[in-house]
Amino acid sequence: MEVLYELKDKLDMKDDEFKEAKEEIKRIDKILERENIVLNEQFKIGLYSHIISFIRRLKKGEKTIEIGNDIISQIKDYPLDIAKRIVVPIFEKYKTAPCFSEIILVAIHIQTAIYVKEGRDNNGRQDSCSDRR
């Protein structure tokens, strides 16, 4: 949760917004823990800031861009399933119909974290620089 506290300042979060985000992040961490997906500090910053921004977008009724098949086809079923479990309850909480592009954006975070853990690059290839993160 240390990362989340750092983001509170960086993203100018008020106490109410922070409390809301903290609840969601706790839920997400439990999902990832059950799947044995460990996020390093960098990936936590990436995913947590994304979730905070996603909730802000939902509240404002903002939509993200539509993600094309060139990207969707690169996402594996497993990270997609985890992303659905992360994102769909947030849509439900804010009474908004789920948007597949938002699910894909979170799935990219999950897939990349899995690839890095396996020593592959962001595109799934064996990475000679996998110690970067």
Partner 1 sequence: MDGKIVVVIGDRLGKGQNVAKGVESAGAKAILIPGMAADMKLGDVMHENNADLGISFCGSGGAGALMAANKYGYKAKYGLRSIDQGLTALKEGAKVVGFGFMDSAELGRKLVEEYRKLYKKG
Q: How many residues bind partner 1 (CB under 8 A)?
A: 34
How far lies 68's CA from each of 2, 76, 104, in Å? 35, 15, 10
Give me the 7-36 binding string for partner 1, x by CB under 8 A, dash otherwise.
x--xx-------------------------
Using CB under 8 A, pick the residue from 59, 64, 76, 119 that binds partner 1: 64
In this chain, which of 58, 67, 80, 87 binds partner 1, going by CB under 8 A? 67
For residue 3, give both structure tokens: 């990362």
If the CB atoms of residues 34 and 119 are measured against partner 1, the closer one turns out to be 119
Please give the torsion angle defined by the CA atoms of residues 86, 60, 99 and 13, in that order, rounded to the nearest 10 degrees: -20
**Structure-block tokens of residue 35:** 């799947």
Calpha distance 42→55 (Å, rounded): 20
The residue from 49, 78, 100, 117 that contacts partner 1 (CB under 8 A) is 49
79 scored as a contact of partner 1 (CB under 8 A)? no
Selected from 39, 58, 102, 103, the binder of partner 1 by CB under 8 A is: 102
CA distance 103 to 86: 8
Count CB-CB contacts under 10 A for residue 35: 15
Q: Is 110 in the site for partner 1 (CB under 8 A)?
A: no
Tokens 């849509």 belong to which residue?
91
- Angle, vertex CA 84, rays to CA 38 and CA 52, nearest 5: 70
The residue ranges that bind partner 1 (CB under 8 A) are 6-7, 10-11, 41-43, 45-47, 49-50, 52-54, 57, 64-65, 67, 71, 74, 101-102, 105, 108-109, 111-112, 121-123, 129, 132-133
